[in-house]
Every structure is written in C-alpha cells, then in structure tokens.
Amino acid sequence: MDALDAVRRVASARDGIVTLRQARAAGFTTHEVQRLCRAGRWRVVARGSYLVDADLYDGVPRRARIRAALESFGPSAGAVLATAAELHGMAGLKATDVIHLSVPGPVARPARIAHPEVVVHQLVVPSGQFVRVDGLTVTEPLRTLADVSLRVDRFSAVSVLDSALNRRLVTAEDLLSFPRLIRGRRGAVAARGFLSEVDGRAQSPLETRARLRCVDGRVPPDALQLEVRDDDGYLLGIGDLAWRRHRIIAEADGRGPHGLPEAVFVDRRRQNRLVNAGWTVLRFTWKDTLRPDYIPWTVRQAMAAARVR
C-alpha cells in the first residue's frame, strides 16, 4: 500500500480528514502535503488538518469541518451546545454554519483555526459528561440538552427535548436529572418549565411547534400519534395530533418525506379513508406555526363544525 492509499484509508473513516501527523506517518513529507494543497488536491480545513481529495467535493462537508476544528484544538476539545446536538442527531435547532467547541484553560488564539465560524466556549464540563460519537468528543445527550435549553427559546428547547426522547437518546428517567444540571445557571427557571411540555411521541420539530401553538391557543390535542381503525380493526391512518371527541386529526406536513411524489399520493389516500370514516383532517406546515393564532383558530373552527354535525 503506497502513502496515498494509506492516507485515503485513514480519511475514509474520518469524514475525509487527516492530520499532518497522520499524513507523515503514512509516508508523506510536510513539503509534499503543502504541494498537494497548492495543487488543490488537498485542502486545509483547520490548522494541521486536511481534506483529502478535496477536488472531489463540492466544498468542505459539515462533519469534516467539525472534525478538523476539534483536531486543531487538541484532544481536550469537545463539541458542545448546538454542534453537540447536531452530532447526536437531535432535531429542532436552526441550522447554522457555527461550530461550538469547549476548550479547558485559557481560550486558544483565533489563529489556531482556519475558519471564523468556530466559537470557543469555556464551559465547565466534567470528563464524565463527554462521550465519543463517530470518533468525535461530544457532550453526552443529557448535558447537551441542558446546555442548549438554557440558551434557546421555548419552541426550540421543547423541540430538541422531544427529538432526543423520540430518538431514545435520553429517557424520561434521565430527564429527572435535568434540573440538577441547570441549577443556578442563567435561564434555569425558564428551562425547568420546558420539561412540563416535553412529549417524546412527537416525531418532528414541526409536530412539536404545532402542538405548542394549540396549547397556547387553549385547544391542546388529547392524543398524539393516534391510530385510527375501522370496526374490523383495519388501520385507516395515524394522526400526528388528535382531538378524539371531535374526531379531528392534524397532520404536520414537513418538507421531508411528505414532499416526495409517492408520499403525496399515500397522504391523499390515507386522508380519504379518514374522511370517509367521519374524521376531519387538518394539515399544517412550518409556515403555519409562525403565526400564533392560525393553528388554534383552525382547530376551533373544525370543532365548531363537528358540534354542528
């Protein structure tokens, strides 16, 4: 195996990133690495970290940037806040190019990184609250949730908490330790209140936001992920939000699976089955959640119509 094959093998397991030390161990000299970068075949992503075969990528992948940033600050650095939530696969936070890291001791000089999107925090994080995710050092899920919830609005906090529960990154029992982790920290009072609104049955941030709008509008759903069956037990459909007494179901239509052509046909067939069985089906999008009054008003209108029927 030649030096390039050896480096590519290392990079394949590390989001395309190798360090100068790894390149030299494979047989490259520093001069050869620099020549590859000048030729555009490799790309400097952070100090001492390179994207191998950069000419095959359309820009630098997000995870490669995160890995390179962590590498540049050494083994004591860890991903925190929204970056940790992203690496754990938690949904509900606004996408951003910012990379949040925590480094113990004096904040490292900005010159140590190649890109300004890296923000270095000096959070006090015990070593036991860090875990490894695909070889990256990240705050554990519960600590990540605690840190994030102190810094974001209610809708984002409840969404990311719902997501972590739904994806089994934490359990309801784990959340009993949440107040202890935030005690005495700025924003703790509001963050404790978020816990009472968490529901791991929500399968997307859109469902969480729609539910919270209904709660604020005093028409909270009495069921989530409700299975509706006919008299023979055949599954007609599953409602994201439901008001059983009024036979109303609300669907959260996101841009993901619901936007695919085949999914649109499936959604229509399911809606027809539910309507024929006497259910009212409402559909809400992300844009609908941005208006505080629209979703609860629509639900109340459906309830009024159901009472007339």
Concatenating the DSSP letter of every residue in 201-220 gives T--SHHHHHHHHHHHHTT--
pLDDT category, 275, cuts 50, 70, 90? confident
Q: Which residue, 171, 195, 219, sits at the end of a domain?
A: 195
Tell me which amino acid residue 129 is.
Answer: Q
Task: Give the pLDDT score at 115.
Answer: 58
Q: Which residue, 167, 195, 223, sits at the end of a domain?
A: 195
User: pLDDT tens-digit profile of 178-220?
Assistant: 999 999 999 999 999 999 999 999 999 999 999 999 999 999 9
User: Do 95 and 124 share a structural domain?
Assistant: yes
Q: Which residue, 174, 195, 216, sits at the end of a domain?
A: 195
What token pair was written down for 83? 């970056």
User: Do 47 and 18 share a structural domain?
Assistant: yes
User: Do 80 and 184 share a structural domain?
Assistant: yes
User: Do 191 and 80 share a structural domain?
Assistant: yes
User: Do 125 and 82 share a structural domain?
Assistant: yes
Q: Is the pLDDT of residue 31 over 60?
A: yes
Strand-strand pairing, 136-139 and 223-229: unpaired
User: Do 84 and 181 share a structural domain?
Assistant: yes
User: Do 262 and 177 share a structural domain?
Assistant: no
Query: Read out DSSP for 32-46?
Result: HHHHHHHTTSSEEEE
Q: Is the pLDDT of residue 259 over 60?
A: no
Nearest 5°: CA angle at 293, between 291 and 297?
130
Q: Which domain holds residue 111?
A: 73-195
pTM of the model: 0.87
Domain count, the chain: 3
CB 36 within 8 A of CB 88: no
User: Do 179 and 124 share a structural domain?
Assistant: yes
Nearest 5°: CA angle at 199, between 159 and 266?
80
